Amino acid sequence: MERKELVERIEKEISEAQADIALLVEDLISGEVLISYKEELKVVSASIIKLPIMVTALEQIQKGSFNRDSLITVLDSGILRDTEVFEYGGGQYTLDELLVWMIINSDNTATNCLIDILTKEEINRTLKRLSLQNTKLERYMLDFEAVKQGYNNYTSAQDIGILYKALYHKTILTPELCDYAISILLRQRDKQNSLRYITEEVKAAHKTGGLDFLDHDAGIFYLKGAHYYFGAFVWNAPDDRYGKQWIGRVSKAVYEYYRQR
């Protein structure tokens, strides 16, 4: 597939989309932006916000405030109804365990516990320092009362791309902590978005996010001789499958372009 054909396919997907869309695809080796559409637009983040929360935690490890084996108490009162990890009650867990469950299982209980120990203020200071202009944490996970009061969590395809590029090029944190972050992201268990229609085994360090009528997926794809950032954000969709399907089609087109090069 030639570059022109890829762009035409993606432009057709965008023009025919029955939802709001933001998209950014960037070659991580050459630095070339292949496709961009409303990448700077501030959107409700859903669980994509967990990537900057992880980066904030790793910055605290780098500073010596915590280490990966630091014990964190998960209270019974803080266990959310959607957990698949803390079903048998709270206890003490390592920081490593909470980070892993927050990313690979998108566990909201682990996330809220991390927000508590890091604080919203510190997380937002980190986001500002990293020049993530459209990313902000305003509420806990599943705090829908806060949403009713006008608070939410936000990001953009461009901001999340900045974080992934910094981890990939090791320009943030130590090289060891960058590798650690990528190693967790590579274990992502949600494959219903960007990997939905790809039949081959793909090495992808990514994070998804989903709410009613909203689906996001962003991360690094490692192909032989090609590494690229793929960030697709879909909201105001007609149903809860549309975003996953749209992201899946676009991701497969990008994947086929790189695979055939």
Neighbour tally for 212: CB within 10 Å: 9
pLDDT digits (tens, 9 = 90+) for 107-140: 999 999 999 999 999 999 999 999 999 999 999 9
pLDDT digits (tens, 9 = 90+) for 172-183: 999 999 999 999
CA 49 to centroid of chain Cα atoms: 6
Domains of the chain: 3-260 (3.40.710.10)
* pTM of structure: 0.96
pLDDT digits (tens, 9 = 90+) for 59-115: 999 999 999 999 999 999 999 999 999 999 999 999 999 999 999 999 999 999 999
Q: Is the pLDDT of residue 261 over 90?
A: no
Supply 103's token pair: 């990313």
Measure the CA–CA gap between 40 and 218, rounded to whole angstroms: 14
Q: Are 249 and 37 in contact (CB under 8 A)?
A: no
Q: Are 9 and 253 in contact (CB under 8 A)?
A: yes
Radius of gyration of the chain (CA): 18
